[in-house]
Amino acid sequence: MTESKRMWELWSLDYLKTKLDVKSTINLFLIPVIALTGDTAIGYIYHYESLILNCFVDSATHFMIASFSWNYVGNLSINKRSHMFAVFMCGLLASLIDIDHFIAVGTMDLQVATRLLHRPLLHCTTVLSAVAVLLALLSIKIHSIPYLKLSLIITTAVWTHHWRDGYRRGIWICPIGSTPPYGYVLYLVGLIALPLGLHFILRFTSELVQKAKNQDLQQVYLI
């Protein structure tokens, strides 16, 4: 068995061991439950036409979905306090994405902002994903795990927000265009698949950062 194949198998087993604990699994399955609860509540509020409450519950649902997602994706952290701060920041970032509605209309008026006909810039998945990818590449270059985590916190916040908006409006991949809206069941399944995939990416890229660091140390040693 080649060295790389052996490493891969060990890594995969380790991955499964870490992520099959009860707490993480409950955390993961709570994400679609939160989405379902938030979406149902919004439908109920809409019936009574309270715009402020509607926007508050919508924003809180984005916050909770992103926070629970990062709690799953980044729970490798040894420092619990910094992990909880990252969980909060991820949720906050996901909620703040909707601020572009107000920027686009140039007023804080909720009525005007929610009647915007086109989707504003922060709802273009390409823009913020490109920022996250650049940050991830920089983290490998400078061997920084905190930068790598920041890149994945941004990705988690943006993708969970866009995925939630997307079941009604599709995913906007500017400048190419937009996907059609998708079914509610696919949306709920995606909310489980997203953190699973992002956790996998975090572990994989963390090893890349570590490898780049070791290689550089070796080079310095040889010189």
User: Which residues of this chain interact with Zn ion, rule CB under 5 A?
Assistant: 98, 165
Q: Of 61 and 205, which has the nearer Cβ to Zn ion?
A: 61
Reported as type and span, the H/E element at residue 48 is: helix 22-48
Q: Decide if 166 contacts 119 (C-beta within 8 A).
A: no
Minimum Å distance from CB 190 to Zn ion?
Answer: 16
Find residue 172's DSSP bridge partners.
124, 178
Q: Of 100 and 137, which has the nearer Cβ to Zn ion?
A: 100
Q: Of 136 and 158, which has the nearer Cβ to Zn ion?
A: 158
Q: Closest residue (Cβ) to Zn ion? A: 165
Minimum Å distance from CB 109 to Zn ion?
Answer: 17
Q: Of 139 and 160, which has the nearer Cβ to Zn ion?
A: 160
Minimum Å distance from CB 116 to Zn ion?
Answer: 11
Find residue 177's DSSP bridge partners.
173
Minimum Å distance from CB 85 to Zn ion?
Answer: 24
Minimum Å distance from CB 53 to Zn ion?
Answer: 17
CA dist 47 and 133 (Å) reads 41
Q: Of 66 and 73, which has the nearer Cβ to Zn ion?
A: 66
Minimum Å distance from CB 168 to Zn ion?
Answer: 10
Q: Which residues of 153-181 are buried (b: 16+ CB within 10 A; e: fewer)?
A: bbbbbbbbbbbbbbbeebbbeeeeebeee
Q: Of 136 and 157, which has the nearer Cβ to Zn ion?
A: 157
Find, among 71, 63, 73, the residue nearest to 35 by Cα. 63
Q: How many CB atoms lie within 10 A of CB 64?
A: 20
Q: Decide if 65 contacts 34 (C-beta within 8 A).
A: yes
Q: How many CB atoms lie within 10 A of CB 210?
A: 13
